Amino acid sequence: SIQRVQATAVSTSNDYSLGNSLSENSFEVKGDIEKVFQYAADFSHIDRWDSGTTDAKLRESSKRGAFKVGDTVSLMTVLLGVKTVTVYQLLEMEGPNKAVFFGISRFHESTDVLTFTRKPGSEDIVQVNYTTKIELVRWYKYFQFFLGFLMGNLAQEAVEGLQEKLQQMQEQGKLVSEKASAAR
C-alpha cells in the first residue's frame, strides 16, 4: 500500500539586495532516493512541473543518453507575460544527493542547487532542498526591489510544482525502488 506523506515547504527565504534574489525551499516525498533524484535532476522535462516554463528541449549536443554534467537544456519561460529563452547547464551531479545548474537568459543568471537526503530513521522518505539564486543583469538589476519578490514567488511556485509532480508519481508507484517493487 502506498502511504501519502504530506509534502510541505518547510522553509522559504528571500534576499532582495541589488541584483539578487535567493529562494530556499524544502519538502519531503516518499520514494526511492535514486528515482526522486533521477526525475528532479533532469531539467529536460521541467515544463511538466514548472508552470513558468512552456517548453524544454535538450540541446543537440546533449542528446546522448542520460542527462549528465555539461548537458544543456533550452527552456521557453514566461515572466510577466513575456516569453524568453533560458538555457540551463548541469554543472555538478553527485547522484543521488546533489545537482547544480547554471541558467542564463537575456535578463538574468541563476544558480539552482538541489540536494536530496534520506530522512533520518526512514529508508523511503526523501528530503528535497531546492535553492535558487537569481541575479538580474544589465539594467534589469535596478528593478530588483520590485522584481525580487516576483522572482522569489516564481521560484517557490516551481518548487511546489516539483513537489506536486513527485507526489503524483509517488501515488502512481513510480518512485518505488526496484528492490521494493520486487518484494511486493
Q: What is the residue extent of each domain of the chain?
A: 20-60+69-174
Buried b / exposed e over 94-106, threshold 16 CB at 10 Å, is: eebebbbbebebe
Q: Which CATH number fits domain 20-60+69-174: 3.40.630.30, 1.10.10.1200, 3.30.530.20, 2.60.40.1190?
A: 3.30.530.20
* Grid cell in block for residue 86: 533560458
Q: What is the pTM of this model?
A: 0.84
Separation of alpha carbons 17 and 184, rounded Å: 52
Which pLDDT tens digit goes with each residue over 10-60?
444 445 444 467 888 999 999 999 999 999 999 988 999 999 999 999 876
Q: Which residues pair with 89 in a beta bridge?
A: 72, 102
Nearest residue to 116 via CA among 78, 163, 154, 81: 163
Q: What digits encode the pLDDT tens for the residues 72-117?
A: 999 998 877 889 999 999 999 998 999 999 999 988 899 999 999 9
Phi/psi class of residue 57: alpha, beta or left (left: φ > 0; alpha: ψ in -120 to 50)?
Answer: beta
CB 109 within 8 A of CB 135: yes
